[in-house]
Structure 1
Amino acid sequence: MSTTTQNQPAAKMSIATIAIMNITAVVSLRFLPSEAEYGLGSIFFFAFAALVFLIPMALVAAELATTYPEKGGVFRWVSEAFGPRLGFLAMAMVWIEVIPYFPTVLTFGAVSIAFIDPTVSMAESISANKWYITSFVLIVYWISVAIALRGVGIFASVSKWCGIVGTIIPAGIVTLLGFAYLLFSGNKPLVELSWGALMPDFSNFSTVVLAASIFLAYAGMEMNAVHVKDMDNPTKKYPIAITIASLGTVAIFLLSTLGIAFIVPAQDINLTQSLLLAYDLLFKWLGVPWLGSIVAVMLAFGVLGGVVTWIAGPNTGVLAVAKAGYLPRWFQKTNKHGMGVNLMLVQAVIVSILSITFVVMPSVQAAFQILSQLTVILYLVMYLLMFAAGIRLRRTQPDRPRPYRAPAMYLWASLGFLGSLIAFALSFVPPSQIAVGSPTSYFLYLVVLVAIFVAIPLIIYAQRKPSWRDPNSDFEPFTWEANATTAPNGTPTASNAHTGAGTC
């Protein structure tokens, strides 16, 4: 949905801006170490996840965003297909899943800052300190909230330039230098370079669990569909931006992962430190070790841009849905920039509480892993609904004008649904590479948290009241409301055709 406010004119975004915002939102270099452990086998995982998740997600999101350009984003798409109850659940999952995401991505930023210190052993010690990590997460997160509250113009600029400086350029550096090291250093590569090495070892099931994190690494391409109406000629330009972002995302992840795998031994790979150690090794090889501190700062800027994007995007979407009558009026309060103040503050408080996980978990790595998996699971709930909506809407609304029609929609959406389901199941299995404490406790911890986070939006939806709707809301009726027909679940909605909050 558009982030244009009632107080500001539309801020039109270019193809390049949307593409870079998508890359910034999707690409986090923190995922590279977990996949570098697989060496050349990471190519298989990246290609598989792109085939059954990234490509389907980009195609389905592009069609849905241009077919339903009205406000609502994923809430509108799923509601058109299955009714507002599941639509509200899908939107809530996007808002909730970023809560465990923020501590994990900010942990990577904390580690980056620690590696400004040229003494690597001291940097490693600092970056493993749970109190340092927790303090950094809280401070930088609240700074990001303050930036996001300044409105679309500020957060779009921060996202774009932090993405270039802190993600795209560092990824290019580790890729170019990693391959140069392989070719010109004279040292033996640390990964097996053979055709057989392209196929991972599936004999130990638990060792491939970390590969499921690639689905989270690719997630988020649909998030900036909320800005489709902030573009000139979005039906033409948005699919182009998505294509550029998708290709760039795969290239950055794959090449950067191999750059790390070439120089860091698999047994020494650490989920939070290995990327920084790779830069340290490469710059020492070139004789310019001081550059490691500069890149560490750049990576921290990349984290800041990603966090600001993920605060602003989902909160903008939930705010429009809230004003349509799906959340109490207290959550609809906005500042002079049109940003949802109370929504962001509630989210920030929950993030702050969850960040204490770093203090109570066995290690920073363990907390990092369990929060990452929780993010994957919650996000995949939304994706399962989105892919199912893409299939259903092709069948139930065949005459709806589709400026962009995804080729072979049924095939790609089915692949996306199946891939998401596989990753969803794998995410409950504790990885053998990381000490996360008791496997049973790990599983139960995830199950309980997922159950709580899924139940909350369903309970809120069941308690909604007509008084929640903002009389100034410009949320357009759903197709079945405008036609005074029935909701997808069969509930009559003619009497609610203009409420913006049809029954379900």
Structure 2
Amino acid sequence: MFYFVWVMFSYCTGGPFGLEDMITTAGPGMTLLYLLFLPLFWCIPVSLVAAELTTAMPVEGGFYRWVRAAFGDFWGFLAGWWNWSASFLLGGVYAVLFTDYLKFWFPGIIGWKHYLVSVGLIALITYVNVRGIQLVGKFATALEIFILLPILGLVIIGLAKWHHNPFLPVVPPHKPVFQVFGVGLALGLWLYSGYEQLSTVAEEVENPQRSYPFALAIVVPLSIATYFLPTLTSLAALGNWQDWHTGFFSNAAQLLGGSWMGLWMTISAMLTNVALLNSTVLTSTRMPFAMAEDGYLPATLIARHPRFGTPWIAILVSAAIYAMLAFQTLTRLITIYNWLRAATTILTVLAVWGLRRKKPEMHRPLVVPGRRLGLYYVVLAPIAMSLLALLGSDSFTWHWAPFAIVLGPAAYGIDHVFRRRRPLVSSSTASS
């Protein structure tokens, strides 16, 4: 259970790296308010849904299987397809970002050398994941402890050198409020996404009915603190909100704690991308395994490793796609990822309502508190946040994100027309 907590944290948060641009685009005050209060309307209700459904249906594939049980094959397929597609936009990016940070010491890593280093990292993480969730958990635990130590140091030093009001200005001067609100909300939703994702490996976790809610109870407040506290104290100590950009936490650490602390923070930022890639491979590769098990994808993806019991073919296929995307940064496509993630999240929170109506007799060891009012809260709050974020998208996203969404129904239609769906196959019969 200890290792599972850190695997979940490394997927959902990892560290505060990546939120720095939010300061200059949304403003320091608005950013801090988002970091503090957005979880009430996003990751907390999603976590409550994940806790109820994981304890009721601890199955491989997690929320994909929940949506399918609640609304049928079509919507279940979309939940799985959109989630797996979204992972492609992240897997390659994390490897590329790691190599970008490595260029700080080795500026000659460009072109094909940059690509080879990125692919090499993907290969290493793939090997770790084929070995099984226990090794993944130990790897994630070691990484996160190393990552969080300099962040804790930055918070302590920032508190000791507090000289500015970190909430001012609330928004950047002379910027339209709606633009600031939309950009900040989109980044905030990205930061606080993924708390239902580890439901996809429920069958590989010891006692998931207890482990998953316990991990959520620790990871959600820890994630909020990891984002909010270093941002608050760095702004309070330095006051230079206009200078914040990607990688600024390394600059803040150097300015406040000296060159050694800046170096440690830079290494932590690199390892954060390793941790994110590690947990992304773990969680996203169980999705094609579950969909193949239900007949939507080729049956070869069901194969489990004869020694480690992991879906190694699904892991290798996903890793190959990450490697093909590792030659570019895909930073603009992060907004498309948000659309795919929002669509998956909407289906997931609706599943808790659908299953209560469809299967009221289902044993639920843990239920969302608040009865009917609590159910409305966990369903409507994430849907409202998703719609607000999508409405604030830029023109590039409006051009491409709907296309990414439509690919899901198109893929389902092609599968149906050509009768490619296979009978359900038990994973126990495909262990080789």
Q: TM-score range by the shorter chain?
A: 0.7 to 0.9
**Unmatched runs of 5 consecutive residues or more in structure 2:** none
Matches within 5 A, 1:18-29: 18-28=4-14, 29=16
Measure the CA separation in 2 of the matches of 1:82 and 1:18: 30
Q: Which moved more, 1:170-179 or 1:91-100?
A: 170-179
Partner of 1:347: 318
Q: Is the 8 A contact 1:19 1:241 kept in 2?
A: yes
Q: Per-residue displacement from partner, 1:447-495 (whole Å, max 9, x unpaired)?
A: 44444466335534664546454355589xxxxxxxxxxxxxxxxxxxx
Deviation at 1:157, TM superposition (A): 1.4
1:217 to 164, 170, 191: 191
- Give the paired residue count: 419
2:135 to 154, 166, 185: 154
Partner of 1:239: 213
Pairing 1:424–2:386 present = no
- 1:182 is aligned with what amino acid? W
Partner of 1:207: 180
Measure the CA separation in 2 of the matches of 1:34 and 1:103: 21
Deviation at 1:300, TM superposition (A): 2.2
Q: Is the 8 A contact 1:160 1:305 kept in 2?
A: no
Percentage of identical aligned residues: 21
- 1:157 is aligned with what amino acid? K
1:409 to 371, 375, 378: 375
Query: Are the structure 2 counterparts of residues 444 and 230 from structure 1 closer, same or farther at C-alpha, using a change threshold of 3 Å?
Result: closer
Query: Are the structure 2 counterparts of residues 159 and 460 from structure 1 closer, same or farther at C-alpha, using a change threshold of 3 Å?
Result: farther
Measure the CA separation in 1 of the matches of 2:412 and 2:311: 18
Q: Is the 8 A contact 1:325 1:466 kept in 2?
A: yes
Pairing 1:226–2:226 present = no
1:266 to 241, 260, 278: 241
Deviation at 1:134, TM superposition (A): 4.6
Structural RMSD (CA): 3.0
Pairing 1:386–2:348 present = yes
Deviation at 1:233, TM superposition (A): 4.8
Partner of 1:455: 410
Q: Is the 8 A contact 1:264 1:278 kept in 2?
A: no
Q: Is the 8 A contact 1:264 1:274 kept in 2?
A: no
Measure the CA separation in 1 of the matches of 2:264 and 2:37: 34
Partner of 2:297: 327
Q: Per-residue displacement from partner, 1:41-70 (whole Å, max 9, x unpaired)?
A: 212212342111011111111011111123
Partner of 1:174: 154
Measure the CA separation in 2 of the matches of 1:474 and 1:44: 51
Partner of 1:253: 227
Q: Per-residue displacement from partner, 1:419-466 (whole Å, max 9, x unpaired)?
A: 12222333x31xxxxxxxxxx555424444444466335534664546
Q: Per-residue displacement from partner, 1:200-246 (whole Å, max 9, x unpaired)?
A: 87734333343111111111111122344555554344322211111
Q: Is the 8 A contact 1:60 1:387 kept in 2?
A: yes
Deviation at 1:178, TM superposition (A): 2.8
Query: Are the structure 2 counterparts of residues 217 and 461 from structure 1 closer, same or farther at C-alpha, using a change threshold of 3 Å?
Result: farther
Query: Are the structure 2 counterparts of residues 381 and 193 from structure 1 closer, same or farther at C-alpha, using a change threshold of 3 Å?
Result: closer
- 2:363 is aligned with what amino acid? P
1:95 to 67, 81, 84: 84
1:51 to 24, 40, 51: 40
- Normalised by the length of structure 1, the TM-score is 0.74
Q: Is the 8 A contact 2:58 2:202 kept in 1?
A: yes
Q: Is the 8 A contact 2:296 2:422 kept in 1?
A: no
Measure the CA separation in 1 of the matches of 2:239 and 2:103: 19
- 2:215 is aligned with what amino acid? A
- 1:293 is aligned with what amino acid? L
- Normalised by the length of structure 2, the TM-score is 0.86
Query: Are the structure 2 counterparts of residues 73 and 193 from structure 1 closer, same or farther at C-alpha, using a change threshold of 3 Å?
Result: closer
State which structure, 1 or 2, has the greater radius of gyration over its C-alpha atoms: 1
Q: Is the 8 A contact 2:60 2:202 kept in 1?
A: no
Query: Are the structure 2 counterparts of residues 175 and 240 from structure 1 closer, same or farther at C-alpha, using a change threshold of 3 Å?
Result: same
Measure the CA separation in 2 of the matches of 1:235 and 1:335: 25
- 1:255 is aligned with what amino acid? L
Query: Are the structure 2 counterparts of residues 162 and 459 from structure 1 closer, same or farther at C-alpha, using a change threshold of 3 Å?
Result: farther
Matches within 5 A, 1:30-109: 30-37=17-24, 38-109=27-98
1:296 to 266, 274, 283: 266
Measure the CA separation in 1 of the matches of 2:386 and 2:286: 25
Measure the CA separation in 2 of the matches of 1:43 and 1:198: 9
**Unmatched runs of 5 consecutive residues or more in structure 1:** 1-13, 118-122, 184-188, 359-366, 430-439, 476-504
Q: Is the 8 A contact 1:53 1:415 kept in 2?
A: yes
Query: Are the structure 2 counterparts of residues 340 and 235 from structure 1 closer, same or farther at C-alpha, using a change threshold of 3 Å?
Result: closer
